[in-house]
Amino acid sequence: MGLFTPDLYYSDVLAIDLADLRARGVRALLVDLDNTLLPRDTNVVTPELRGWAGTLEDAGFVACLVSNNWHDRVFEVADALGFGLVPKALKPLPFAFRKAMRLLGAGPATSAVVGDQLFTDILGGNMLGLTTVLVEPLSTSDLPHTLLLRLIERRLLADRQPLA
């Protein structure tokens, strides 16, 4: 598997097959915020998202937000979902992922990164040997450099389509 290749690819977080993750030995999720859980331009934690957080907990998963963002928003969302938080993460560098795994009491074999970007979430997770789960970005609103990287991402993903 290449460093830019996600192990799994879904349309959004709600579509992730949690039983499959369990079967892979995963019990800790390191989850991106912007355009993974919420569109970059909104602040509203939907009932569906709260429901998903509850489902995770019921299924025995622990979760931590790992975000390159550091605004109040990340703290509010982590709080609303009952997730741990590592802000200002500097993904794809490994420090924040390691910190999140420490917070959750998990290691690379039992952790998965969930995110919408190959160059931050997936690259960072693959470098540490975590299971990597790509989701499609929730909005096309992104930082200018991210929009540029999206063009390259499309090339790297080629014709790969979400599993669900």
The footprint of Mg ion (CB under 5 A) covers 32, 34-36, 116
- Smallest distance, Å, CB 106 to Mg ion? 21
- Smallest distance, Å, CB 44 to Mg ion? 17
Distance CA 90, CA 140 (A): 21
If the CB atoms of residues 34 and 153 are measured against Mg ion, the closer one turns out to be 34
If the CB atoms of residues 67 and 131 are measured against Mg ion, the closer one turns out to be 67
If the CB atoms of residues 32 and 153 are measured against Mg ion, the closer one turns out to be 32
If the CB atoms of residues 62 and 138 are measured against Mg ion, the closer one turns out to be 138
- Smallest distance, Å, CB 121 to Mg ion? 7
- Smallest distance, Å, CB 67 to Mg ion? 8
